[in-house]
Amino acid sequence: MSAIKEHPKFQVGDEVHWKSQANASWIEKQGKIIKVVPPYFTVRCYPYEHTHKLMFDGGQRCQESYLVEVQLGSTAKPKLYWPRSSKLKK
């Protein structure tokens, strides 16, 4: 019998980083958690579409997850990601 793997719990304001793959290369991303998403909660994009560049389409996940804001410059609109909880590290 295998045990269920617990993922670390994060809070709003925590700085996190994770790796993601696109176009055959891995990129490390770093940002700040702005929302804790409960399991099976449907994330909708419209509250954020005017203040952030959205990097996800919405939906729901079966475990607690997090919306992460990544600021790439002082004048650019911040990007908002919804990475898998298992990939996030402090």
pLDDT over 80 (residue 1): no
Closest CA to 82 of 48, 3, 73, 51: 48
Task: Give, as one character, the DSSP assignment of residue 56.
Answer: S
CA–CA separation, 60 and 39 (whole Å): 8
Q: What is the pTM assigned to this prediction? A: 0.86
Number of domains in the chain: 1
Q: What is the mean pLDDT of residues 38-49?
A: 87
In which domain, by residue range, is 40 found?
A: 31-87
Q: How many CB atoms lie within 10 A of CB 33?
A: 17
Split at pLDDT 50, 70, 90, the class of 70 is very high
Q: Three-state DSSP class for 68?
A: strand
**The predicted structure's pLDDT at residue 44:** 83
Q: Is 16 inside a domain boundary?
A: no
Split at pLDDT 50, 70, 90, the class of 8 is low
Q: Is 4 inside a domain boundary?
A: no
Closest CA to 66 of 34, 19, 31, 28: 34
**The predicted structure's pLDDT at residue 7:** 62
